[in-house]
Structure formats: structure tokens, C-alpha cells
Amino acid sequence: MKKITNTLFLILLFTGTGLISIAQTHPNLILTKEGVEKIRKNLGTVPMFDQVLATIKAEVDAEIEIGIKVPIPKDMAGGYTHERHKKNWFILQKAGNLYQITGDQKYAEYIRQSLLAYAKMFPTLPKHPTDRSYATGKIFWQCLNDANWLVYVSQAYDAVYDFMPKSERDFVEKDLFRPLAEWISTENPQFYNRVHNHSTWGNAAVGMIGLVMNDEALIQRALYGLKNDGLDNTMVDNDGGFIKVEGQNKAGFFAQLDYSFSPDGHFTEGPYYLRYAMTPFLLFAKSLANNRPDLKIYEYRNGILEKSIYSLLYETDTKGRFFPINDSQKGMSWNSREVVAAVDIAYLDFGNDPTLLSIAEKQGKVTLDVAGFKTAADIEKGLAKPFKHRSIAYNDGADGKHGGLGIIRTESADGGEICVVSKYAAHGMGHGHFDKLSYALYDEQGEVIQDYGAARWVNIDQKGGGRYLKENQSFAKQTIAHNALAVNETSHYQGKVKAAEASHPDQYFFDAKNPDIQAVSAKENNAYEGVKIHRTFVLLKDESFRNPILIDVLKVTSEKENQYDLPTWFQGHLLAASFDYARQMTSMTTLGQGHGYQHIWKEADGMSAGEPTQVTWFTPQTIGSGEVEGKIFTLTTSAIPNDELILGRAGASDPTFNLRPDPVFIQRRKATNSVFASVVESHGSYDPVSEIPISPFPSMESVKVLLDSEAYTVVQITHESGKTWTLAIANIDASEARNHQVTIEKEIFEWKGPYILK
């Protein structure tokens, strides 16, 4: 308390231009007097920033022209009142920055009038009439959006604080800001007092308005949560996530920082939600850095905020689109406004990493503040250096011991990339999917083998009001919807969140030292009772192959016989399969009854006759000018006689066409212990302008399991030239120093460490 009070005194600063005095006054959240000075002085010298200023000015001017609209709240997301109030928060925040930067009082006046209108309306508002959220808001259907509003409007209020007479400030604080802060905290503890991205917004909102109003009680509540929330352990939110997690008794912003990230910055819900959560983390942190330097918020947990921004950037494909693990809408990318802000703040406050400038260049915009100004100015100076994706293993869980996400990626010959995302993470809370040891494969254009993402069309009213669709639960979260092993037509942990949250897979090893041979391996022992799964992915770059290939070895151990289904959700159109299959010609039924199977049309099935078992598909990819070029991929598996080979398509049991009709290949086997070994290669290409297929056939001849014991699994792959590679995995001891030896057909095979490929 003492330290905080100190910062309210006048501070004397010596700068190059002389001695000036700065009062701890407004703006003091994201903008500061000093920062505003700097921007004003340099207007006209940084084209990218000037462009942003002009664009935002035009946008806000148009809104001022239309006039202030503060309708009585009534709609769900997508509806008029929701979208209008949402627009207001953005416009008000922008107007505040415009007022500070341009000095034009029309922006301050617009904010003032808006705040008065909100303050006049707010006391009349009951709980939002929709009442469909676990935490219904006042201005919006959920407290979350009320908190969003407050995070942005706090900034607007900060910008015009000195402009408004004290009597009006008292009015808006008493009738709008304080009661709203109470609504989203003390009156909705189930929203406010969690470790969850929703609550981070709540904490930041309360903290930021607290900073503007210099209300120490609100600031403390933001940092440390509510003392007594009276919440019990069985409450769930609208996504089915538990409000309370056992062992986590803290709340507030510091608790979010403690529990939301792994020690290396991974966010357990995945990058789509981290992107969303990032805004309150960074805006509140920045506000605290400006106002409470004693908290050393940027250094907290060894710089967890900086790490989290980099995790966001590394968990993307080459075009910056987030890997859509857990509930994620496809296509969300580092071009989103949240990441624009994160990159600019990271550049300004975390050491001026020049590779961040190249991302800002791709984003093509910056924030209208000091961070954005510095970023734009340094791009203008030519300081940008290319951002390089790299192989990286992220641990999951606050303690970093709850599995993780292994990303291995390698450049292909023509400047492209092959990237494997191996997911052995903890269950992503309410947004988690039952996809232990699943993976997705990318090339430089995008998905080759996809993670379906969420069954949701965010903000599209026609699709269930833009909220999660029921097929998100019944399909997208289920195991069979992923490239993961489903046992006995049941999802992992029987599809139960509580059980899934109580456990997690473990990384077995991760090796990215040699760019030509990289590997990631993980184990899952709890998803099914009595079943252990161990999966290893290796990327091999070798001149025999046009592009690096993926080797996938999935070992399953069980004393009793099970039905194993291993799906491959390939992106594209089936070109050929090496086995005979019977296509359903005039009628078609679903693959099963539940656990997602009811959503898959069984289009065709066949029986493996043995090696080689191959599925080849064509993936159209749109390139720069809008032309379509396609690539040709082949999966070669170690299918054994009597494996059932199924071709299916999503979209059954889907009364309102919520699912994409995506294709899947499923390898089905009845066995106890077994190994599924396969290779995916990107071998061919075709574009409809030249009409010349380049290398349309796979170069992989076969994939064979040579040995499988408790201790060792050995797989051999054979190239059409006859050249072979052998992948040997030590299943029990992953230590680097350990020597291993197996004998296969009288030949002795020796290596050191958890695996070898040669």
C-alpha cells in the first residue's frame, strides 16, 4: 500500500530535452502523457502509423456522424443491441486515443456524451433478459462481454478523465463504473473468481477501472480475487467446464498468471483461446507496468507474459493461423487485433525483438499508441528481420508436468515446410477435446491432415446464435473426430470432462537437434481402462523423398481384445486406395451410434489384404493470385490381413447442416497388443492450368512392423528404390545415455538413446 501511494506524488524526470515534471495524472492506463507527447511530435514521419491514424479517424468520424446509440440491451450475440454495444466499446476506446493524439475535442465530447448516456441507462437495467449464461450480464447476455466492454471503456474514460468536470465523473463512476464492476465481480463470483479466460477479462476490467478511478479496493480485488466466493466444486459453465479446480484456491489476476500458463507460456485451452485471453492479460499488465512498477508485472513468473506471446506465435502454421486444438474456429491467426496488440507491446516492452517486426509487417497494422508507434517507426527504419517458426515442445499445466504439445517442423526442398503438431496436452478445461495423442499435419499452404476444430460459427447468428453448436459436444470433441485412437467405439475417458481433467498424457521424448530427423513421442495410460497407448512421430528429410516424410508409430497395449479405430482426417479428395473397397452406391448409413460415430457417414469399406496399404488424396490449395494448385499425398500403413479399412465423411445426425462434410480414412483392427505404423508423404503436385501431374504416385513401397515387445518397437519403411530405413524405439527407458540392442532375424541392431532411425 505504501509503495502504491508513493507513485501518486509528483515525479521529476530528466530527459534529453530538459527537466520536466509529470504528475501521476491521466491518461495513465495504456497511454501516458509522455507517450502521447512522443507520438504527437513524430506524426507525419512514420507512414504505417499515419495510415492507422487516418483509418481509425475515418472510422470514428463516421460513427460520430451517425450519432451515439445506447440501446436498451435485449439481444443475443449477433443481434442488434449486442453488436451495437460491442461496436461502442471499440469506438469509444479508439475515440479516446484519437483525442489524446490529435487533441481534437470532438472525440472527448463523443466519449463524454456516451458515458453519460450509459450512466443514465445503467441503473435502470435488470439482469439481461436473455438469461442464458451461467453468468448473465447487464449490457450483454454474459458477464464476459460486460467485462470486455469495461476493459475498453476504462481506456476511453482514462483519456477524457481530465476533460470531464468532476461532477460528471462522480456521476458516471457512481451510476455506471462502480455498479458494473460490482456486477462482474461480487455479484457474479462464478464468473469472476475462476482461473479461466473469462475471469481474466473480469479481473482486468475491475483492475483497469480501479486504476483510472484510483480505487485501491477494486485494484486489490483485481489482483487477488474475492476472498469468499461461496462457490462449490460441482458448478459448471456453459461449455461444461468446472468453475472450481481442486487444489486451486486462489483467484484474481496473479492467480491467472500462476495457473493459466505452463512455465514456458503454453495456454492449456490452446492458442485460439490464448489469443482471446491475451488482451486482458496484456492491457491490464501494461496498465500495471505504467502505474505500479513496484509489482514488476512483466518479470512475474520469469517473464510469463513474454513467454505466452511467443507461444502464441509458435503455435501457428506458416501463414500464422493457430493450430486449432480444442475448441477453435479455423482461420483465426496472428493477424487478429489481439495479436497485433500483443506483438506491438512485446516489441516495445520485451526487448525490441526485430523478428516481431516482420510479423507486424504481415499484419499490416499497429496499435494507435506508443507500442504501435515504436513498432511502425522501427519497421520504417528497416529493422525488421524474418520471424522463423521452429520445432518446439511446450509443456502443459501450471507446473509444466501435465503433458504438452510437441511441434516438429522442417523445411522442404522448395522453401516449403512440413510440420507435425503432436498433442499430448492436458484436457483443455471446458474447451478440451478427447483427443489424447492426436496429431495434425501441415505444409506451407495449410492443413494436410486436419484437426476438425470446433463445431461453431462464431457470431454467425444463423448457426445457433454464433455459439457452440450441439455437434461441438457430440462430434468435434469426441475421439473419432480426431486423428487419435478410439477404442471400442468409445471416446477417451468415456467423454467425461472431470475424468479427463484428472489425468493427462506424458511426453516420452522430444528431439529436434538434427533438422533431418526430428521426433516426438508421448504416452497415454488412462484414457481407457487397461489400455496403454504410446505414439511416436518422426519427420525424416532425405533426398529420396520430394518432401520430408512423417513416420507415425502407434503402439497399443491391452490384455483383452479391443476394437481399435485409427482415423486419418485427410484434407482433400480421394484419388486412389490400394485396397478393394465397396462404395455405398444408393444408400448409406452412419458408422455407429454414439461418441461421434453417429455423425460419420460410412461411405465405403474394404478389407486389408496386407502390404502395401495406401490411400492417396489430392488437396487443392489456392495460391497467391487465386489460382488453385494441388498437392498429392499418400498415407502408407502397416495394415495387416483383416484390418477393416473404412472411408467416411462427417455430416450424419446433423439436422441443420452444422458440420463440414469432411472425409476420413479409418483403419479398424481387433487385437490385444498391436502397432499401427504408417508414413505420410507429400509426393506430388498438380495444377489445372498446366494439367501436368508431377510425381503423382507415392515413393513409399511398404511400412512393416519388424518387432514389437514391451521393451522395443521396430518399424521398417521401404522406398520404391529398395532403400530401407529402420526406426527402433525403446519403449521403457527414454534416457539419452542408455544403450539398446535388439536382434531381428538374427541381425543385431544397436543404438543409444530412446530411438534411432537409420
Q: Which residues are catalytic?
A: 273, 431
Residue 588 touches its own copies, criterion: CB under 8 A: yes
According to CB under 8 A, which one of 81, 100, 145, 616 is a site residue for its own copies?
A: 616
**For residues 439 and 483, is the Cβ–Cβ distance under 8 A?**
yes
According to CB under 8 A, which one of 24, 102, 412, 590 is a site residue for its own copies?
A: 590
Parallel, antiparallel, or unpaired: how do β-strands 628-637 and 581-583 relate?
A: unpaired
Residue 624 touches its own copies, criterion: CB under 8 A: yes
Q: How many CA atoms lie within 13 A of 478 on its CB side?
A: 26
Whose cell is 444408400? That residue is 587
According to CB under 8 A, which one of 74, 174, 381, 573 is a site residue for its own copies?
A: 573
Which residues in the 451-470 window bind its own copies by CB under 8 A? Answer: 457-463, 466
Query: How far is residue 517's CA from residue 159's CA, in Å, rounded to a whole number?
Result: 54
Query: How far is residue 115's CA from residue 155's CA, in Å, rounded to a whole number?
Result: 12
Shortest separation between residue 341's beta carbon and its own copies, angstroms: 14
Shortest separation between residue 649's beta carbon and its own copies, angstroms: 7
Residue 583 touches its own copies, criterion: CB under 8 A: yes
CB nearer its own copies, residue 142 or residue 518 = 142
According to CB under 8 A, which one of 9, 67, 415, 657 is a site residue for its own copies?
A: 657
Residues near its own copies (CB under 8 A), total: 66
Shortest separation between residue 288's beta carbon and its own copies, angstroms: 28
Residue 576 touches its own copies, criterion: CB under 8 A: yes
Residue 573 in grid coordinates? 479428395
Query: Per CB under 8 A, which region of 91-99, 114-122, 342-350, 657-665 contacts its own copies?
Result: 657-665
With both helix axes pointing from N to C terminus, report the angle between 143-160 and 80-102 in degrees, rounded to the nearest 10. Answer: 20
Q: Which residues pair with 619 in a beta bridge?
A: 631
Residue 335 touches its own copies, criterion: CB under 8 A: yes
CB nearer its own copies, residue 510 or residue 618 = 618
Residue 387 touches its own copies, criterion: CB under 8 A: no
Residue 21 touches its own copies, criterion: CB under 8 A: no
**For residues 491 and 506, is the Cβ–Cβ distance under 8 A?**
no
Residue 78 touches its own copies, criterion: CB under 8 A: yes
Query: Per CB under 8 A, which region of 369-377, 483-491, 562-570, 614-622 contacts its own copies?
Result: 614-622
Query: Per CB under 8 A, which region of 26-34, 125-133, 494-502, 653-661 contacts its own copies?
Result: 653-661
CB nearer its own copies, residue 413 or residue 628 = 628
Residue 361 in grid coordinates? 509487417
Parallel, antiparallel, or unpaired: how do β-strands 613-622 and 628-637 relate?
A: antiparallel
Query: How far is residue 603's CA from residue 601's CA, in Å, rounded to a whole number?
Result: 6
Residue 687 touches its own copies, criterion: CB under 8 A: yes
According to CB under 8 A, which one of 32, 148, 333, 472 is a site residue for its own copies?
A: 333
CB nearer its own copies, residue 179 or residue 594 = 594
Residue (of 745, 741, 451, 182) closest to 753 by Cα position: 741
Q: Taking every pair of C-alpha atoms in the chain, what is the biggest distance, in angstroms?
A: 92
Query: How far is residue 209's CA from residue 211's CA, in Å, rounded to a whole number?
Result: 5
Residue 145 touches its own copies, criterion: CB under 8 A: no
Query: How far is residue 100's CA from residue 640's CA, in Å, rounded to a whole number?
Result: 70
Q: Which residues pair with 91 in a beta bridge?
A: none
CB nearer its own copies, residue 88 or residue 536 = 88
Residue 618 touches its own copies, criterion: CB under 8 A: yes
Shortest separation between residue 389's beta carbon and its own copies, angstroms: 15
Instruction: Please tell me whether residue 337 adopts helix, strand or coil conformation.
Output: helix
Residue (of 262, 267, 276, 269) closest to 239 by Cα position: 269
Residue 125 touches its own copies, criterion: CB under 8 A: no
Could you tell me the sign of the dihedral formed by the alpha carbons of 346, 352, 355, 357, in that order? Answer: positive
Residue 693 touches its own copies, criterion: CB under 8 A: yes
According to CB under 8 A, which one of 586, 736, 745, 748 is a site residue for its own copies?
A: 586
Residue 450 in grid coordinates? 486436419
Residue (of 135, 259, 254) closest to 198 by Cα position: 135
Query: Per CB under 8 A, which region of 256-264, 323-331, 353-361, 505-513 contacts its own copies?
Result: 323-331
CB nearer its own copies, residue 561 or residue 627 = 627
**For residues 756 and 727, is the Cβ–Cβ distance under 8 A?**
yes
Residue (of 700, 726, 701, 731) closest to 714 by Cα position: 726
CB nearer its own copies, residue 389 or residue 660 = 660
Shortest separation between residue 324's beta carbon and its own copies, angstroms: 10
Which residues in the 233-272 window bind its own copies by CB under 8 A? Answer: none
Shortest separation between residue 626's beta carbon and its own copies, angstroms: 5
Residue 307 in grid coordinates? 513467454
Query: How far is residue 207's CA from residue 256's CA, in Å, rounded to a whole number?
Result: 13
According to CB under 8 A, which one of 186, 473, 598, 695 is a site residue for its own copies?
A: 598
Residue 113 touches its own copies, criterion: CB under 8 A: no
Q: Which residues pair with 621 in a beta bridge?
A: 629
CB nearer its own copies, residue 297 or residue 339 = 339
Shortest separation between residue 462's beta carbon and its own copies, angstroms: 4
Shortest separation between residue 209's beta carbon and its own copies, angstroms: 25
Residue 58 touches its own copies, criterion: CB under 8 A: no
Burial (CB count <10 Å: 0-12, 13-18, 19+), residue 182: middle
Backbone dihedral region for residue 274 (phi beyond 0: left; psi -120 to 50: alpha; all else: beta): alpha
Shortest separation between residue 91's beta carbon and its own copies, angstroms: 13
**For residues 708 and 702, is the Cβ–Cβ distance under 8 A?**
no
Q: What is the DSSP string of 361-404?
A: HHHT---SSHHHHHHHHHHHTT---------EEEE-STTS-S-E
Query: Per CB under 8 A, which region of 55-63, 156-164, 533-541, 567-575 contacts its own copies?
Result: 567-575
According to CB under 8 A, which one of 332, 393, 426, 519 is a site residue for its own copies?
A: 332
Residue 691 touches its own copies, criterion: CB under 8 A: yes
Residue 514 in grid coordinates? 538434427
CB nearer its own copies, residue 338 or residue 501 = 338
CB nearer its own copies, residue 383 or residue 574 = 574
Burial 402-439 (b: 16+ CB within 10 A, else e): bbbbbbbbbbbeeebbbbbbbbbbbbbbbbbbbbbbbb
Residue 24 touches its own copies, criterion: CB under 8 A: no
Residue 416 in grid coordinates? 516449403
Residue 656 touches its own copies, criterion: CB under 8 A: yes
CB nearer its own copies, residue 91 or residue 437 = 91
CB nearer its own copies, residue 175 or residue 444 = 444
Shortest separation between residue 338's beta carbon and its own copies, angstroms: 10
Residue 688 touches its own copies, criterion: CB under 8 A: yes
Instruction: Kindly give the residue spans of alpha helices, DSSP state H, lying in 633-675.
Output: none
Q: Which residues pair with 443 in a beta bridge?
A: 418, 446
Rg (C-alpha) for the chain, rounded Å, is: 28
Query: Per CB under 8 A, which region of 27-35, 413-421, 488-496, 655-663 contacts its own copies?
Result: 655-663
Residue 390 touches its own copies, criterion: CB under 8 A: no
Query: How far is residue 341's CA from residue 83's CA, in Å, rounded to a whole number?
Result: 22
Instruction: Please tell me whether residue 506 adopts helix, strand or coil conformation.
Output: strand
According to CB under 8 A, which one of 38, 120, 127, 330 is a site residue for its own copies?
A: 330
C-beta atoms surrounding 57 within 10 Å: 18
Whose cell is 491521466? That residue is 26
Shortest separation between residue 581's beta carbon and its own copies, angstroms: 9
Q: Which residues make up the interface to its own copies (CB under 8 A)?
A: 78, 319, 321, 329-333, 335-337, 362, 445-446, 457-463, 466, 573-576, 583, 585-590, 598, 601, 603-604, 616, 618, 622-628, 647, 649, 652-657, 660-661, 686-693, 696-697
